[in-house]
Each structure stands twice: as C-alpha cells, then as structure tokens.
Structure 1
Amino acid sequence: MHEYTSRVRVWGLTCPGFPEEVSRARRWTRDILRGSPLADDAALIVSELSTNALLHTSSGRERGSFHLALAVAPQVIALSVTDDGGGSTPKIEHQDQDAEHGRGLGMVSAIAHRVVVQGADSGYTVTAELFVQPRRGDHPC
C-alpha cells in the first residue's frame, strides 16, 4: 500500500440543528454508499441518530448543530453522530410495541452489528457499525 493512501475512506458533515437537516444527512449517507447493499440500513441509522441529537440535546436548540462521520473500510461501515451535549446519556431501551417514543436506539442496535456511546455532558458520539459480508475469496485482514 502506498504511504499516503488507505483503504479506509472517511467523510464528515456538520448540520445546523434544524429538523430538515435529518433528510439531508440521510441523502448524504445514501449518496456516499450508493451501490452498497447496506446503504438503506445506514441511512435509517443516520436518520435515527440525527433525530435523537435534535430532540434530546442542545443540537436542536438555536445555534445548535450535529456532526456526522462516515467511515468505509473493506469489512465495516461506521456511522457516527456527535451532538452538542446538554442532554442525558443515550441509552438503548427496548420499549413495548405501543410506545410512541424511546425506540430509536433500540432499533439502531437491532440493525447495527455494534453500537458504541462515548462522551460526556459536553456532547455524546453514538457510533453504529455495519459489518460488510466478505465476498468469496476475500481475506478478513
């Protein structure tokens, strides 16, 4: 591999804290992952995480924002949303089917192969990883 190249590609997008930015984040994710069988799952995850940032943190307040990072490697797609803080620690809860709220991270954890929450009161980053199925003849490393 050349010294200045990598098989891992990383993109970032910062969105102002307006509800319509969730659809922009979803489109951005689909555009980057065009042709990937995981594009729809990734877009749904980004939509849920972005919505949570707007609803439950300072990201949804005046002058708020949220940041997306999308990393694509041969074996994994990692989607991260970082909020502006000011909310409670994101928790994966499994609500009953009649609940109107509180199912977003539970749904993300059902779709993703791994979900990691990092941060503190100043801001949390929720990262969801989707593992890419190796093609026949590909090596895991």
Structure 2
Amino acid sequence: MSPALNSPKEIHRWCRNFPGTRAQISEARQFVTSYLGDRPETDTAQLVVSELATNAIRHTRSGLPGGRFGVTVHAGIDLLIIAVLDEGSPSVPHLCQAEDEEQSGRGLHLVETLTTRWGIHGDETGRTVWALLPLTPKHPTA
C-alpha cells in the first residue's frame, strides 16, 4: 500500500525497523520505493537509504547479533527527509578524505553529493543520520 503523496498540503511519514543484517538493506530500499512509488526521486532515495543503512550495520552496534536499524521517510510538499537510526558506536560518522585508503566514509561522500544537506544527531548510544532530498512537485502550479 502506497501513501497518497498527491495532495500538496499533506505531509506523510513512514517508519520501520529492520534487523541489522546485510540482507535487510534491500528491504530498506524496497520500503523507500513503496513510500515514493514512481516519483523521479525514488532511485536517488534508494541509493541514499542503502548507503546510510550499510553504514549503520557496518560501523555501529546495529550490525551486531540482535542489532537493528530504523528507517524513517518523511515527505512534505517539496522536500523528502530520509533518516536511519542506528544503535550507536564510539565513533562518529564522518567524511573521509579522497586519498584515504580506508573504504569507510566514502558512502557519505555519495550522500553529500546526492542530497541538499545531511547531518547527524545523537551519541554513542544511538544516532540518526539524516539526509534531505528536494521533491519534484506532483502538480506544478500554473
């Protein structure tokens, strides 16, 4: 069931928790697709949630046995918020320099490139990494 994102005055938010396993990254992408449907931003939103969910299971306690991560998608008239909640870790998500040998942080470069803005809220007990995507109006004004 897809939400009715047709009304320009309505705001919709969906939230779902996922087990912290690699197999659930594709489920998180499908969750975003179910929310957005055939909107032009769907592919970009899938990629963003994939990167953020991958970071959650790779770099936080969400990826430990029994761990979980949450995904929230929240659409307004012209803006989509994608947020991934993890179970925290001692390290803080950050962008790595291009010359870094380590793979860590490169997904955030992609998120930064694809979104209007992104950020982090929380601490070592749990963090939310969020990103903003502009939405193309469903009903252009005259």
Indicate whether 1:73 and 2:73 are aligned. Answer: no
The aligned counterpart of 1:85 is 88
Contact 1:88/1:121, CA 8 A, preserved across alignment: yes
Shift of 1:98: 7.4
Structure 2, unpaired ranges of 5+: 1-8
Residues 74 and 128 of structure 1: CA distance in aligned 2, closer, same or farther (over 3 Å): same
User: Aligned-pair RMSD on alpha carbons?
Assistant: 1.9
Question: Could you say which residue in structure 1 is the equivalent of 2:5?
Answer: none
Report the CA distance between 1:96 and its aligned residue.
Answer: 4.0
Residues 68 and 87, structure 2, Cα contact 8 Å, conserved in 1: yes
Q: Percent identity?
A: 32
Residue 124 of structure 1 is matched in structure 2 by 127
| Cα distance, 1:30 vs structure 2 | 1.1
CA positional deviation for 1:19: 0.8
Gaps of 5+ in 1: 1-5
Structure 1 Cα separation of the partners of residues 31 and 90 of structure 2: 26
Match of 2:141 in 1: 137
Q: Distance in 2 between matches of 1:94 and 1:73?
A: 33
Q: 1:89-136 deviations in whole A, cap 9, x for unaligned?
A: 111234249764430011101000010111111111011000124564
- Using structure 1 for the length normalisation, give the TM-score: 0.86
